[in-house]
Amino acid sequence: MTTPASASAPVPVPVPTPAPAPVPGSPDYPLHSEKTIGDYFRDQVAIDPDHEFVVYPDRDLRWTYRDFDERTDNLAKGLIAIGMKPGDHLGVWARNIPDWLTFMYATAKAGIVMVTVNPVYKSHELDYVLKQSDMKALCVIDAYRDVDYLEIIRGLVPESLEQQRGFLRSETYPCLENLIYMGPEKHRGFYSVPELMLLGQHYPDSSLEWAAHQFDNNDVVMMQYTSGTTGFPKGVMLTHRNILNNGFYIGEGQKLGPADRVCLPVPFFHCFGCVLGVMANLTHCSTMVIVEDFDAGLVLQAIHKERATAVYGVPTMFIAELNHPDFDTFDLTSLRTGIMAGSPCPPETMREVMDKMYMREITICYGLTETSPVFTQTSADDDIEHKCETVGRAHPPVDVRVIDPSDGHVCGVGEPGELCCKGYNVMKGYYKMPEATAEAIDADGYLHSGDLGMVDEDGYYRVTGRIKDMIIRGGENIYPLEIENFLLGHPGILDAQVVGIPDAKYGEIVGAFVRTRLGHEDLTEDDVRQWAIPRIARYKVPKRVFVVDDFPMTPSMKVQKFKLREMAEELVRAGK
């Protein structure tokens, strides 16, 4: 019998083929957030308003997410009240004081661009940044180390002594209209933070709501000036989208969460503090435990007192903590993770950090200010070899390549070249420097780091040195990092830095600066050379070895190799 068509079996509905998952590094890879920092922060406040956000253990200052939200709203409205508008530039020249963070979030909420000023700048550098950044307001503390901020400002802006605050008109700095003192004291020509807070409390909320509609997450939220070791500093323009998402992926690498308390002794003016630190904590509802200025003892105390689960630092910071005379008196068992960045970690130091500081899940981050800053990171679960020998794998949304600087081809596995990346994290550009921007970001959108490196078959990247730091001795290419890691195998060497020294015969020779371990203070140049000769190719053996107490460092605790080169040249000329 024939079955009527109406009674036939149902026709199968075709199942659509699922779209392929976005490839890491591709333009369509989803980001964590497309919100502005202000909107994102309010969402986090709503999750747990009474959770601690900011803690300064040395003064028992504690701000919850709700406290900080209210404080930054009032400051944002206070800034609007004195004439600051979305897109205006406001500089902050201070160490890691509590209101550095208040200004960071207040400016982000109001659409004002925060210009971070290196706290050790002196009058020449400040003059340059004031002019180049078109700064409309400058916020300062009184002094830091040997730098008297107020004296410098009075010298550069003498009108501040004669003109009423809010009505500043400077002949030298035509954009500068407001000076703000980050404290309760009153100074002629300056607003104080309490005054701005009071203004904000009485200014309508609608002013902040209006400001929030004048910008989006692709607008610049922060400008950070590069070190300028090879020329004038450049203002790196970073957007809400850049640093908020970068903070998220950094926090993911550490497995951060609301239970984490992250000790931050690294400077806020640098990305290490304000992105790896502040943004990673924001995106994971964690708590920041802040040490205002690095001191190994204060860091250990903060970890002990606040039961910190993570701590950040460059290798020299961790070395100082491990070698603190009272190290064994502190309970560090709460530690789990953290970040070591800025320079490669000596393997022995990494072992001590993981064993003696209990940081089995410590991660290594790599990047630069122009990349917001991180684009590769080891995972919390990576083994010690990968944490010592590599800078991890690419963050998922970023396309990382190794490119041959001589002809531009993409290098294969194990082939050395320049580390480059493309993605959401690449800066908007250098402020008012289109030529320099074009030199840094190629026509295909890849940011060139200036670092030499390679990738292995598992996607782990290695940094072998700066292109400009590579030593060429009689035609042989020598990578300082290789020699530094080798020297750390000497039982008497605590830390080592290698530079090239000009030489009439070879073009350059290898010079090493070393810090000795306790009990090896009598280590000599000949001791090091005799130890090295049977263990490494002769052309890589340091010709000159200088034993020093410390290395010249930047405020972000990076070794200033250009100064070491200068020191080496002077010592060689002097016959030492």
| Tens of pLDDT, residues 444-490 | 999 999 999 999 999 999 998 878 787 878 767 787 888 898 899 99
d(CA 339, CA 249): 13
How far is Cα 38 from Cα 545, in angstroms, rounded to an integer? 52
Single pTM value for the model: 0.84
Please determine, for residue 558, whether its predicted confidence score (pLDDT) is greater than 70.
yes
368 or 233, which is more confident: 368
Using CB atoms within 10 Å of the CB of residue 147, give its burial: 0 to 12 exposed, 13 to 18 middle, 19+ buried.
middle
Over the stretch 168-218, which tens digit does the pLDDT of each residue have? 999 999 999 999 999 889 999 999 999 999 999 999 999 999 999 999 999
Peptide bond into 373 cis (omega under 30): yes
Q: What is the DSSP letter of 343?
A: S
For 97-110, b where at least 16 C-beta lie within 10 A, e where not — what string? bbbbbbbbbbbbbb
* pLDDT for residue 524: 95
pLDDT at 8 over 80: no
Q: For the stretch 464-494, what's the b/e string if a residue is b when 16 or more beta carbons lie within 10 angstroms of its beta carbon?
A: bbeeebbbebeeeebbbbebbbbbbebebbb
Residue 17, pLDDT score: 52
Residue 422: the pLDDT is 97
236 closest CA partner among 512, 10, 427: 427
Q: How confident is the model at residue 7 (pLDDT cuts 50, 70, 90)?
A: very low
Q: Residue 125 is which amino acid? A: E
Alpha helices in 307-429 (DSSP H): 315-322, 347-356, 384-389
What pLDDT score does 30 carry? 82
Work out the average pLDDT over 313-327. 94
pLDDT value at position 227?
64
Strands 374-377 and 393-394: antiparallel
Mean of the per-residue pLDDT values of the chain: 92
What is the Cα–Cα distance from 248 to 341, expressed in whole angstroms?
A: 17
Confidence of residue 23 (pLDDT cuts 50, 70, 90): low
73 touches 84 (CB < 8 A): no
Contacts of 479 (CB under 8 A, 6+ apart): 452, 464, 465, 470, 471
Name the band, by pLDDT with cuts 50, 70 and 90, for residue 39: very high
281's tokens: 């904590």
Cα distance between residue 53 and residue 376, in whole Å: 27
**Residue 316 corresponds to which amino acid?**
T
Tell me the H-state helices in 82-225.
98-110, 123-132, 149-156, 193-201, 205-212
**Cα–Cα distance measured from residue 363 to residue 380, given in angstroms and rounded to the nearest whole number:** 6
pLDDT computed for residue 20 by the predictor: 57
State the pLDDT at residue 545.
Answer: 96
pLDDT of residue 54: 98
pLDDT at 229: 40
Question: φ, ψ for residue 169 (rounded to 5)?
Answer: -135, 105
Q: Going from the N-terminus, what domains does the chain have, and what CATH number goes with each?
A: 37-46+61-233 (3.40.50.12780), 236-467 (3.40.50.12780), 470-573 (3.30.300.30)
119-164 pLDDT, tens digit each: 988 898 899 999 999 999 999 999 998 899 999 999 999 999 999 9
517-537 mean pLDDT = 92
**Cα separation, 348 vs 417, whole angstroms:** 28
Can you give the pLDDT at residue 296?
A: 97
pLDDT band of residue 19 (cuts 50, 70, 90) is low
Q: Taking the chain, what is the end-to-end CA distance rounded to the nearest angstrom?
A: 110
The C-alpha atoms of residue 283 and residue 168 are separated, in whole angstroms, by 38
Q: In the prediction, which pLDDT does 146 show?
A: 87
Kind of pairing between the strands at 310-313 and 261-264: parallel
CA distance 141 to 180: 9
pLDDT of residue 343: 76
